[in-house]
Amino acid sequence: MRTGAAAGHTGYFHEAVLYSSTDELLDVVVPFLAGGVAAGEPTVVALGEEHSAAVRAALPAGAEVDYLTGGAMYARPAGAIRAYRRLLADHVAAGAGQIRIVGELPASAFGARWDWWARYESAINHAYDEYPLWSMCAYDAHATPADVLADVARTHPTVAMPGGRHVASHTYVQPTMFLGAPPLAPPDPLEADRPGVELTAPTPATARREVAAAVGGRLPATTVDELLIAVSEAVSNALRHGRPPMRLRAWAGDGRAVVAVSDGGDGPTDPFAGLLPASDRSGGGLGLWLTHQLCDHVTLERTGEGFTIRLVAEA
């Protein structure tokens, strides 16, 4: 049975919390969490260390709340979706009628990588909709960039306010529309230099060999191996689903590498490609989802000249 503001709601009840101080955040999330505890619902906190400590201190001693390590949970968007879906499925299997979660992204999400976290915030409206989830995503209204806050309003159907108020976001956009034209990432600084590798229509094996030679010694061996798997998948997808001309460019710096694979096609038609595995999508493959699991940043860019997937790996 659904309780609180989500009573009578089917599926995911997704809210943003915009706060200007820790006290303002607590005014919203403490009653939310306490209500979940009182209703016997699985109640989860995935905030940073400082806010988790403040919430723990504000709740009654012994309150049955699970505290997750927010930074680890939000390492990569596709990984976060995978972990949360597993958590939600386990709670539903145990009989939960509603699950409550409050979380926040790490500050690193609001810089050059916001594009894929914006995609995450939009995609989860679909990815979690099969579960009786009510969640609140916390954003510092003063510290968060204005363009990010605009995307928060576009990806959260509701905003939770002090005093138990819940206000609809008038700029909310359905995921299929938002993901059709997501925010673009700025060019990576490494791309200001000439690529160390430039290939035209390489086979996956050639791409792996040339990229390995370029980045070897600059990244840990495990990171290189993961990047090469992602490169192979990106090249295979471009050859199989894209259109000529196809090319690969790679840049390597100390502890960092960027690989861009471009073709003349339109890119994947599935708006959730990369963020959800193939079993959760129609007509999609597993390759793009793997790249999102293995790389530290993945961008998908469409221009009048075609489609580019950009893979970033870091030490």
CATH code at 163?
3.40.50.300
* Confidence band, pLDDT 50/70/90 cuts, at residue 281: very low
- Whether residue 224 sits in one domain with residue 172: no
Q: H/E/C letters for each residue in 55-122?
A: HHHHCCCCCCCEECCHHHHCCCHHHHHHHHHHHHHHHHHCCCCCEEEEECCCHHHHCCCHHHHHHHHH
Q: Over 80: is that where the pLDDT of 280 sits?
A: no
Per-residue pLDDT at 306 exceeds 90:
yes
Do residues 64 and 107 share a domain?
Answer: yes
- pLDDT class of 287 with cuts at 50, 70, 90: confident
Cα–Cα distance, 69 to 51 (Å, whole number): 11
Domain termination site, one of 178, 205, 233: 178
Average pLDDT over residues 257-264: 98
Structural domain contains residue 263 = yes
What average pLDDT score do residues 17-46 get? 98
Residue 283: pLDDT above 90? Answer: no
* pLDDT at 72 (0 to 100): 74
Final residue in a domain of this structure, among 121, 148, 178: 178
Closest CA to 313 of 188, 219, 221, 178: 219
Nearest one of 62, 25, 31, 27 to 47, comparing CA atoms: 25
Q: Is the pLDDT of residue 226 over 60?
A: yes
- At residue 285, the pLDDT reads 58
pLDDT at 232 over 60: yes
The verdict on residue 184 lying in a domain is no
Inform me whether the pLDDT recorded for 171 exceeds 90: yes
Q: 33 Cβ partners below 8 Å, 6+ apart?
A: 43, 45, 55, 59, 63, 65, 100, 102
Q: What is the pLDDT of residue 73?
A: 86
Least confident of 46-60, 76-90, 153-167, 175-189: 175-189
Q: What is the CATH number of the domain that holds 288?
A: 3.30.565.10
Which domain, by its residues, includes 115? Answer: 4-178
| CB 206, CB 199: distance < 8 Å | yes
Q: Clarify whether residues 136 and 273 are in a common domain.
A: no
293 domain residue, yes or no: yes
Q: Could you tell me if residue 49 is inside a domain?
A: yes
Q: Which residue has the higher pLDDT, 134 or 281?
A: 134
What percentage of the chain exceeds 70 in pLDDT?
A: 97
Q: Is the pLDDT of residue 278 over 80?
A: no
Please state whether beta strands 247-253 and 197-200 pair in parallel, antiparallel, or not at all (unpaired).
antiparallel
| Domain end point (choices 178, 205, 222) | 178
Rounded to two decimals, the pTM is 0.94
